[in-house]
Each structure stands twice: as structure tokens, then as C-alpha cells.
Amino acid sequence: MAAGLIIVYAIGPRAAQSEGIATDYYFTGHLKGIFASVVMLLIGALIPYQKLGQYSKGMAMLAIGLCFLTAILGRAGVEGLVICDEGACRALNVPLLGSFQPAEFLKVAVLFYGAWLVSDRRKKGQLDKSEFWIPMATIIGAVAIAVAFLEKDLGSTAVIYMILGMMMFVGGMPWKQLGVFALVVAVCVVLLIQVAPHRLDRLASFSGQGDDFHIMNSLIGFGTGGAFGVGLGNSVQTTGYLPEAPSDSIFSVVGEAWGFFGAVIVLVVYAVLLQRILGVSKRTKDEEQSLFALGVFTWILSHVIINVGGMLALMPMKGITLPFLSHGGTSMMFVSFVVGMTLQISTWTSREVIDENTSSRRGERGARYAGSCRRT
């Protein structure tokens, strides 16, 4: 978050001037987003998982309903309640809070509901039966219609499908059933690409047959940065050449300002964070909470892969944030919340004491810790 604030502070005025808005627009908004995200992280760390987990089905229904509501109000042209950008209506205008993207809330709801559904049906031996597939198919279909088709947000749809797929894989879903899931998702994605011209344009630009303005300027940023970068105050791409520089394209800004080694350091920090979250998932004895932490891992990893892959022209460009770095309040708030929840889950993990017979203070503390933190 601190690195993102520094970048937005340095490039925000230039980016704002090129767009004809107030020079402090990006920095002020990002500072408010960080404050709200820290609060959300603390809330996630303090509210017991069980108190929220018991409402997972209700959260999923509410989130899907908000996604439908946003899309319907946007198509109806209701001004003041919905925020639309380039024909896509994905955010509600909430008093005091401002822009609120229901798709980000849906990711949180899917984490809770997916973790409960997979763990509950696995205990009952129903992972390959209708008791599991009917509610799962309902989620898959609702997300495809509400988020991908109506809100035109294929990126968030892909992230949600990756979360559910990873939970099913680790939860012990039979290979045949996993293959059916992958086939259904692939068919949905192909159909959704076919019905949206802008997605076909992105595929064409990735293959070099369409408008490659965004991709080329992203690569120019990395090329200009070289090994050690030109410095944040010397960025040229943020003066109108690189679209969405403070948000979706911020990794290209990192490459230009801090160079190859700066970009690598950012990726290493993500790798450390992801490794820690995966460690929490492995050590947690409660299966539902373990799957939740695994979903958080998948959420952040998929965002990093999609964003960085698009900026480096390794995959088609998709407007999706880089967690904790990109300008954007709702996304950072909810990813902070689930990381806070993962921190809470980590207090209930257990670790193996290597030498239980040791008489050292460290060994005694480790034994007490491992014994006290196992869930009863």
C-alpha cells in the first residue's frame, strides 16, 4: 500500500492533467482508499470467521442481487445511482462511500460460500452428486449472466471461476467432475467473448491484428525503464500515453520508474505474501477455513497474473487491478478484508514442534503455542 501511495502521489498530477481533472484527484482518492482498506483489514482480523461464515449463502445471494441491480439500473439509464464507464455499468454510487463495485463484494461472498459448500459436501461424500452441483451450477450461471454478460466484466468472472476451481481441486473433486467444470467454464468464456465486440478487439490487439496502442505503450514503459528505471518524477508514459496509468496499468509505471529490478522486487513481495497465505491454508486444521485461505491465495494470484501478463503482452489485456498497488477503493478494501480474515485464521493454525524434548525456552514456547492454537 505504501509503495502504491508513493507511485500515485508521483504520477497522479500528470495523469490527472492529461485527463483534464483536478491534479489531486488520484492521490486524494487513493489515500482515502488506503484508510478504508486498513479499517477493513482490522475488521476482517477481529470479527470471528464463524459469525460471518454462517451467513455465506445470504452473502452470495445479496452480492449476486447487487450485480444484477447495478446492471439493470445502468441499462435503464438511472443517473446518480450507477457509475458507467465506456458502456460498462459496474459500480453503484453510494452516499459517503462513493463508488462501490458489487463484483468485488461477490468475490468475498464466493470465498465464504464456496469454502462452506466444498467442505460440507466433502464431509457428506456428495462432491460428485447433485447436492453439490445444483448450487455450484447456480453460482456459475449467475456470475456469467450478471457479471460477465450484463456488467461486461469478464476479468472478475475469470477470477471467481479460478477461486471455485481451485477449491474443488484441493477439496478432492474427482477428475471427471473437474473436467466437466473446466469444459462448462470454457464454453461460457467462448460465448461471452463472441457476444462482446470489445473482447474480440482485445484478442485481435494481442495477436497484432488490432489496435495495440495500450500494449505498445506498456512495453515502451518497460523498455524506457531499463534496469534501474528513470525515476518516478521522470515518467513520460503517464502524461497521456499509457491508459489507466494509476490503476490498471500501474505495473508498467513501476517498470518505467523503477526499472527491471524494481518490477522484480514488487513481484518478489507478492510471492512472499502469497507463500504466507498458502502456508496458513496448509496449517489450518479447519477444512472450511483452509479452503477460504486457499481462495484468498487464488484471488490475489489470479489478479497478479492477469494484470502483469497483460502489461507484458504475455496474454490479452484485461482491465483488472494489481492488489494493494492500483488506484481503486473497492477492490483494495475487499482484498484487505479477506487478508485480515486470513490473519485471523492464522491464529488458529498449529505447527509441528521439531524437538519436543528440548529444554530451551524457545522449544517450550513452541510447544505451548502449538498446543494452545489447535482448534477444539
Mean pLDDT of 27-52: 93
- Which pairs count as long-range contacts for 352-361, CB under 8 Å and 24+ apart, including other chains? none
Mean pLDDT of 64-77: 89
Tell me which DSSP letter residue 146 carries: I
What are the residues facing 84 on neighbouring strands?
89
Provide the number of structural domains found in the chain. Answer: 1
Confirm whether 319 is domain-assigned: yes
Confirm whether 221 is domain-assigned: yes
* Maximum pairwise Cα distance, the chain: 71
Mean pLDDT of 35-42: 95
pLDDT digits (tens, 9 = 90+) for 99-155: 889 999 999 999 999 999 999 999 999 988 889 999 999 999 999 999 988 888 889
Question: Which domain covers residue 295, as residue numbers?
Answer: 1-46+212-347
Confirm whether 130 is domain-assigned: no
Confirm whether 137 is domain-assigned: no
**Number of helices followed by number of strands (H, E) in the chain:** 14, 3
pLDDT digits (tens, 9 = 90+) for 320-337: 899 999 987 889 999 999
The HSE-up count of residue 375 (CA atoms within 13 Å, CB side) is 16
Nearest by Cα to 19 from 240, 190, 170, 219: 240
- Residue 308 pLDDT: 94
Query: Using CA atoms, how far apart are residues 240 and 231, in angstroms rounded to an integer?
Result: 17
Confirm whether 189 is domain-assigned: no
Query: Using CA atoms, how far apart are residues 295 and 301, in angstroms rounded to an integer?
Result: 10
Order of strands, sheet of 98-100, starting from the edge strand that comes earlier in the sequence: 82-85, 88-94, 98-100
How would DSSP label each residue in 28-46? HHHHHHHHHHHHHHHHHHH
Mean pLDDT of 78-107: 83
Confirm whether 339 is domain-assigned: yes
Cβ contact 341:50 at 8 Å: no
- Residue 352 pLDDT: 55
**Which range scores top for mean pLDDT: 38-42, 96-100, 182-186?**
38-42
Comparison of pLDDT for 271 and 194, the residue scoring more: 271
Cβ contact 329:29 at 8 Å: yes
Q: Please identify which residue in the block is written with the cell numbers 492500483.
A: 326
Helix or strand or coil: residue 79? coil
Q: What are the grid coordinates assigned to 260, written together?
A: 527491471
Cβ contact 43:361 at 8 Å: no
Mean pLDDT of 346-368: 52
pLDDT of 81 above 80:
yes
Q: What are the grid coordinates assigned to 104, written together?
A: 468485488
What are the residues facing 89 on neighbouring strands?
84
Angle at 224 between CA 271 and CA 232, to 5 degrees: 70
Query: Using CA atoms, how far apart are residues 104 and 110, in angstroms rounded to an integer?
Result: 10
Q: What are the grid coordinates assigned to 289, written together?
A: 477455513
Confirm whether 131 is domain-assigned: no
Cβ contact 330:337 at 8 Å: no
pTM: 0.89
Confirm whether 310 is domain-assigned: yes
Query: Using CA atoms, how far apart are residues 355 and 343, in angstroms rounded to an integer?
Result: 26
- Residue 80 pLDDT: 77
